[in-house]
Amino acid sequence: MNILLASTSTLYGGNYLEYIKTEIEQLFQGIDEILFIPFARPGGISHEDYTAKAAEFFAQLNIKVRGLHEFAEKAEAINQAKGYFTGGGNTFLLVKTLHEENLMHFLKDNVESGKPYLGSSAGSNIGGINMKTTNDMPIVYPPSFSCMGLVPFNINPHYLDPSPDLKHNGETRETRILEFLTQNDLKVVGLREGNWIRRIGDRITTEGTEQTRIFEQGREPYEVEPGSTP
Amino acid sequence: MNILLASTSTLYGGNYLEYIKTEIEQLFQGIDEILFIPFARPGGISHEDYTAKAAEFFAQLNIKVRGLHEFAEKAEAINQAKGYFTGGGNTFLLVKTLHEENLMHFLKDNVESGKPYLGSSAGSNIGGINMKTTNDMPIVYPPSFSCMGLVPFNINPHYLDPSPDLKHNGETRETRILEFLTQNDLKVVGLREGNWIRRIGDRITTEGTEQTRIFEQGREPYEVEPGSTP
């Protein structure tokens, strides 16, 4: 496999996918067109507008972008594509659409056959075993929370350390993930912004500027350095 | 109806349910025993421990607390109870348990018949039309997101204003609720900590120390004062 699952598309003060441009170039080396999966629709923007945003970035790399929504035969479009990018937004909306249109397993099969896959945020969540560690609001009801399992764990994108200054009684991110572990025996990779997961063949590493926080049942949460296998 | 749906159980630096003690006394006036619904299990604590925590608070009001988990015949326990308190925790776990055990509609029917109901956080979420505006992590898959609809809108507990200092690219609460409105035509009441919704008969008001932020399709979000009907 050849995949890159990023915590976020955009760093604070930066431009869309800018911080990870070199890695994206390497991921899609030799490929002149990719299929964009716009279903997460951040802020409810249209599939067209979201695809245009992705296309604008990829134009810099001389890679053409087609949106999956443009195709009447979507499974066929997935099978014909040379590489994939699933953008962020709302994971519930993304997973609902992929399941209802019966597309999740076509995407999985093609990525498992070696075609490059880029995900950011919700697009990275669906690379995990299931979407039960998303941060998103459940604005729609998906027929299942299952995802592609391109890596043998779950991902929490935009992982955020507790703020000691916040006088607010909502749960911290760590509390939420520990709650997940009371109900599921599955490793969770807390991916801070600026970090990503890279899989090349069987080798899986966490990359980027930050340490990555790992959560497992029966063990204190721990940090791994960039370049480690989580 | 006679219901109180609180944003949070505990204010920053305060004790459990302390800030709302007078209102709870009034809600359960003349009642010496209530049924506690512990299924949201904050932090994964046991039903027993969670019920003990609620019982400790209600002992101050001379109200006895029984946990719903203690009963073999749970629907019967709901029908026999004089009043209800559903504590916070994980809304997905709460809603999954209530639906799987086929209890949601028994609770709804009894509260609609006039028995007092107290909810906090996840326990307030289930007073809304559905749980699609919870902040919680989807750690389990409920058979449905439908809730009791004790009020004709959805609730976002622990409503949090955007922090201008946060250098983080996760969605703000307002962004999430506006995403919800792109998929659902349903009013959302953003309930800040320190606030609650009170329903007495047909009269519904927002109460507490803070303004309440209301979200509707096709309209800018707006604030209402304590004592207003949202």
- Number of residues written out for chain B: 230
Band the pLDDT of A168: cuts 50, 70, 90.
low
Assess contact for A25 and A116: CB atoms under 8 A.
no
| CA distance linking residue A118 with residue B155, whole number of Å | 35
Report pLDDT for A199. Answer: 98
Amino acid at A70: E
Of B136, B140, B179, nearest to A139 by CB-CB distance is B179
Report pLDDT for A55. Answer: 98
pLDDT in tens, A84-138: 999 999 999 999 999 999 999 999 999 999 999 999 999 999 999 999 999 999 9
* A27 CA: distance to closest CA in chain B (Å): 24
Alpha-carbon torsion B155, B158, B163, B168, what sign? negative
Report pLDDT for B12. Answer: 87
Task: Please indicate whether residue B43 or residue A40 has the higher confidence score (pLDDT).
Answer: A40
- For residue A187, pLDDT beyond 80: yes
- For residue A26, pLDDT beyond 80: yes
Assess contact for A121 and A88: CB atoms under 8 A.
yes
* B30 CA: distance to closest CA in chain A (Å): 31
Report pLDDT for B140. Answer: 98
Chain B contact for A160 (CB, 8 A cutoff): yes
Mean pLDDT over B127-146 rounds to 98
Assess contact for A90 and A137: CB atoms under 8 A.
yes
- For residue B164, pLDDT beyond 90: no
Band the pLDDT of A9: cuts 50, 70, 90.
very high
B120 labelled catalytic:
no
Contact residues on chain B for A44, CB-CB shorter than 8 A: 178-179, 181-183
Nearest-by-CA chain B residue for A174: B43
Contact residues on chain B for A167, CB-CB shorter than 8 A: 12-13
Nearest-by-CA chain B residue for A88: B170
Report pLDDT for A12. Answer: 86
Mean pLDDT over A35-43 rounds to 95
Mean pLDDT over A9-37 rounds to 96
- For residue A147, pLDDT beyond 80: yes
* B10 CA: distance to closest CA in chain A (Å): 7
Q: What domains can you pick out in chain B, each with its CATH number?
A: 2-224 (3.40.50.880)
- Give the A window 55-84 contacts with B, CB below 8 Å: none
Tell me what the pLDDT averaged over chain A comes to.
96
